[in-house]
């Protein structure tokens, strides 16, 4: 995988990713919830309860593209999106986000393939909890949420959204960077995330949505079974060069 030296990612909990590549600013699931930023100093809070809690990590650029996986508040929040958009920002989200976002976005569904621009492609995939998956709270119903495979300059980034392992993941190929949830409550747990990672076989995996579970434990278990997959453990707000 050949990445420009300016390509980088930044993680904010739960599943908020900023991707900077090819002079583009891309966000997945930007949603500011005070709980997850209580110990993060580099932020500004604009309003507090009872108003919609509005805050933002400092220094974030306006987006070229925003991709939202589903309607839950830790993934989809109107006030956060509004602070990140500019006049020509393109927002993509499933229909479940209409109540929160209104109609100012492009509705997507699983199996959609969209040529956003020349050499920029979006593939939309399923994301949901399964009966046999390790998630303990089955809050994500099939059809309500999605995952995204975003390809730019021939490099593919797969954001799984909130999901358990799905059989259709076995069909995915040529994933360069995968963002995989490991928390276990609303998504797959660490062991299932390791299985998913090995199945997808990305060149790089970044664990997210940990809900207190150990990124390091995920990395250690992956090393035993997936030696050729590079694991990058994120720290909130820390820029990771790829």
pLDDT in tens, 27-38: 999 999 999 999
Element (H, E) at 124: strand 120-126
| 226 has a pLDDT exceeding 80 | no
| DSSP state letter for 63 | P
| 8-241: CATH class | alpha beta
The pTM score is 0.96
Instruction: Mention every residue, 6+ apart, whose C-beta is less than 8 A from residue 160.
Output: 127, 147, 178, 179, 180, 181, 196
| Six-digit token string for 107 | 């509705």
Relative orientation angle of helices 190-200 and 215-225, to the nearest 10 degrees: 50
Domain-by-domain residue ranges, the chain? 8-241
| Six-digit token string for 54 | 């509005």
Instruction: Report the distance separating Cα 158 and Cα 178, nearest Å.
Output: 5
Provide the pairing of β-strand 239-241 with 230-231.
Answer: unpaired
| 2 has a pLDDT exceeding 80 | no
| 5 has a pLDDT exceeding 90 | no
């Amino acid at each position: 995988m050949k990445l420009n030296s300016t390509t980088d990612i930044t993680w904010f909990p739960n599943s908020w990713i900023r991707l900077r590549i090819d002079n583009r600013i891309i966000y997945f699931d930007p949603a500011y919830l005070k709980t997850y930023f209580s110990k993060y100093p580099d932020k500004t809070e604009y309003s507090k309860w009872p108003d919609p809690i509005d805050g933002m990590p400092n220094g974030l650029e306006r987006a070229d593209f925003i991709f939202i996986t589903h309607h839950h508040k830790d993934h989809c929040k109107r006030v956060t999106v509004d602070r990140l958009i500019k006049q020509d920002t393109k927002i993509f989200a499933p229909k479940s986000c209409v109540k929160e976002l209104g109609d100012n976005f492009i509705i997507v569904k699983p199996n959609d393939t969209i040529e956003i621009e020349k050499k920029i492609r979006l593939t939309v995939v399923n994301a949901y909890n399964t009966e046999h998956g390790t998630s303990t709270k089955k809050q994500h119903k099939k059809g309500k949420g999605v995952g995204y495979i975003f390809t730019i300059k021939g490099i593919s980034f797969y954001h799984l959204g909130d999901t358990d392992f799905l059989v259709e993941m076995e069909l995915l190929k040529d994933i360069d960077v995968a963002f995989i949830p490991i928390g276990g409550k609303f998504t797959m747990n660490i062991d299932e995330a390791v299985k998913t990672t090995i199945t997808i076989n990305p060149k790089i995996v970044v664990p997210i949505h940990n809900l207190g579970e150990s990124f390091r434990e995920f990395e250690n278990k992956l090393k035993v079974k997936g030696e050729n997959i590079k694991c990058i453990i994120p720290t909130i707000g820390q820029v990771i060069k790829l």
